[in-house]
Structure 1
Amino acid sequence: MKTFTAALLAGAIAVAGMGMTTAAAKAEETSPFRCKEGETYAMNVMVSGVEYWFPVYEMFKQAAHQMGCKTVYTGTPDYDVTKQLATFEQVLAKQPAGVLLHPMNPDPFIEPIDRAAEMGIPVVTFAADSPNSKRVAYVTSDNFREGATAADTLAKAMGGKGDYAILENPGQDNHDRRVSSFIRQMEEKYPEMKLVARTATNQDPTRAYNAVLTMAQAHPGLGAVFMPEASSALGAAQAANELGGKIKVMSVDVNAKVLDMIKAGQMFGAINPNQGVQGYMGFMMLFLAAHPDLIDPMNDYKRSGFNPFTLPVIDNGFSIVTPENAQDFYWDAYLKRRGTKGIDE
């Protein structure tokens, strides 16, 4: 009798569980926070092989999959705004539900972003912005705070005095902000730190390598070099090590080679934005902008005809990468832990 009662009770619980599962599944299917069949969101970048984008897309993809949506990774392998604009046009032609965009330069993207808005395709920018366009949101780490933090970190390591140089990529919005805030922080807070040289390397390691050799020859007391991205850091760090390792090289962003050099003490360090949050929040902003009926704010959006979902800036934060924590930022280990195919799915 006890056995029969136990079996009957177990069966009742199982049936109830099935009912709850079915109810949950139906609720999920009818949830307003679910994509329609085939609803697809795109991410578009320049220099598409740069490792920085991969964790961004990983979390963009995860957020989408959690809501039953599809994603595609697009862009150009070149550091060329004309080529990126062409890939952006190709994305628009496929009528995605929304686009997460890293615009290489702000102004050339104003017209195509505005046209996308007119087509009903919301655009969210990340890491770099096109502020005068009709993009609905911008997800980024605080580029000004990144530059200032890098300046504080380097200046303190140098005792607040010495010569430093800048490698830069003029015209790329987020890079310009990092460089300008770095220099301003040095000038305002560390008067004994002196800017002795600055060169445009445009993310080219060879240019960076040659630039640091030239700078060091012209300024024997050069103690530090800062750059707003990772590619130039490779060439700069190589040159610094060939010169005896006395020049502290610091970048924003990392890749596996940069991490290897930081761990080995061949590069001083880096600032790294929280890329995963960029991707995850970028998708959430796109979804809400693509489904404006979910939002009914008390403003004039109906009269004026603008998307009720607009969020000017979201700060995704950043980390300071040192030899002590560099191991935590390797893409291959992250991808293995997550068990996905990265940008290939």
Structure 2
Amino acid sequence: MKKLFLLGILSLFLCVLVGNVALGEEEKISIAYIGASTDLPFWITLRNEARNQANELGVEFIDLTPPSMDAQAQKNSFDNAIQMGVSGIIVGAADSRAFDDSLDKASEVGIPVVAVDTGIDHPHIASLVQTDNLSSAKIAGQYILDHMTRPGKVLIIGGVLGHQTGDARKNGVTEVLEAAGVEVIFRAADWLPEKAYEVAQNELAANPDLTAVFAAWDPGAMSAKSVVAERGLTGKIIIVGFDGDPANLKAIKEGEILATIKQDNVKMGRDSISLLVDIINGKEVPKYIPIDGFIIDQSNVDEFLQ
């Protein structure tokens, strides 16, 4: 009887121990988040919402985002996340071409990866959460076309050449405008506001018939706004951005920028965490989660100003 009693106690202890181990394993889900930058408003909001969602789900959130747009620094962070043995990785690529061998390593050790905002052409990417950039850029192109008050050229200030997100935004606007017979000038600015400023200066000087500027990200639109203001052309040259950053919304309110395409970076941040947790838990998820963008201009900007 005593032996049976001891065996029973031992069995109960083992059951509790196994249960605690299983619970501990479940609680140990850790997600490395590697955004494009810590100093851009769009990415700050996306990161904060991803962290909030992780906290709500009881998931450890490890922010390995470089301070500025630096593809090599992102790759280093990605490789560090693999060495840390995290449960999964979210990456918002500054350059979608920078991760091939790192993704190969993640695949070898079984760490799932979700891309946010920018697509990465690699079979190990489990899902992509992003704005439908092409269709949203077409909305921007049509908006520019509808609000042009005089014939002329349109300058597109883009990101990095070959970057999936930037290319889609350039292509969407270009397709609409060229179909209407508008000449488009494209210049890459590598997602750098200072380079966007230089591009706007050079192109406005070289093309006095410019009638509009589209910037593929809002800080680029703010740079164009500064150049247009310096030349005394505020209100005469249309400026349209892409993101919905607070500074741009204020500029829209003041009539310095005409419009921006709003990206739902709150949803992007939260959905990327939820998707990755589902993947880690063995659930099937869609390969692509497109999120619609929409125009913010003076007609609705008050709804979004804080």
Same fold (TM > 0.5):
yes
Q: Counterpart in 1 of 2:146? A: 156
Q: Deviations over 1:38-68 (max 9, x none)?
A: 3221210222221111222233223322322
Deviation at 1:315, TM superposition (A): 1.1
Q: Deviations over 1:77-116 (max 9, x none)?
A: 2322111111111222222211111122222212212321
* CA distance in 1: counterparts of 2:114 and 2:211, whole angstroms: 39
> CA 1:272/1:35 → structure 2, altered by over 3 Å: closer, same or farther?
farther
Q: Deviations over 1:282-313 (max 9, x none)?
A: 11210111111xx4xxxxxxxxxxxxx35221
Counterpart secondary structure, 1:43: strand
Selected match of 1:211 from 180, 199, 207: 199
Q: Counterpart in 2 of 1:236? A: 224
Equivalent AA in structure 2 for residue 171 of structure 1: G
* CA distance in 2: counterparts of 1:161 and 1:80, whole angstroms: 38
Selected match of 2:90 from 100, 110, 123: 100
Deviation at 1:208, TM superposition (A): 2.0
TM-score (normalizing by structure 2):
0.85
Kept in 2, the 8 Å contact 1:106–1:129? The answer is yes
Higher mean Cα deviation, 55-64 or 68-77? 55-64
**Any stretches of 5+ residues in structure 2 without a counterpart?**
1-18
Q: Does 1:171 align with 2:162?
A: yes
Kept in 2, the 8 Å contact 1:263–1:324? The answer is no
* CA distance in 2: counterparts of 1:280 and 1:316, whole angstroms: 12
Identity %: 20
> CA 1:106/1:142 → structure 2, altered by over 3 Å: closer, same or farther?
same
Q: Deviations over 1:255-296 (max 9, x none)?
A: 33222211111111111211111111111210111111xx4x
Q: Counterpart in 2 of 1:315? A: 290
Q: Does 1:124 align with 2:114?
A: yes
What does 1:281-296 correspond to in 2, within 5 Å?
Answer: 281-292=271-282, 295=283
Counterpart secondary structure, 1:52: helix
Higher mean Cα deviation, 85-94 or 63-72? 63-72
Counterpart secondary structure, 2:27: coil
RMSD: 2.4
Q: Does 1:326 align with 2:287?
A: no
Paired residues in the alignment total 284
Q: Counterpart in 2 of 1:21? A: none
Higher mean Cα deviation, 237-246 or 157-166? 157-166
Counterpart secondary structure, 1:104: coil
Selected match of 2:176 from 185, 195, 211: 185
TM-score (normalizing by structure 1):
0.76
* CA distance in 2: counterparts of 1:37 and 1:137, whole angstroms: 23
Q: Does 1:114 align with 2:89?
A: no
Higher mean Cα deviation, 57-66 or 86-95? 57-66
> CA 1:217/1:283 → structure 2, altered by over 3 Å: closer, same or farther?
same
Q: Does 1:225 align with 2:213?
A: yes
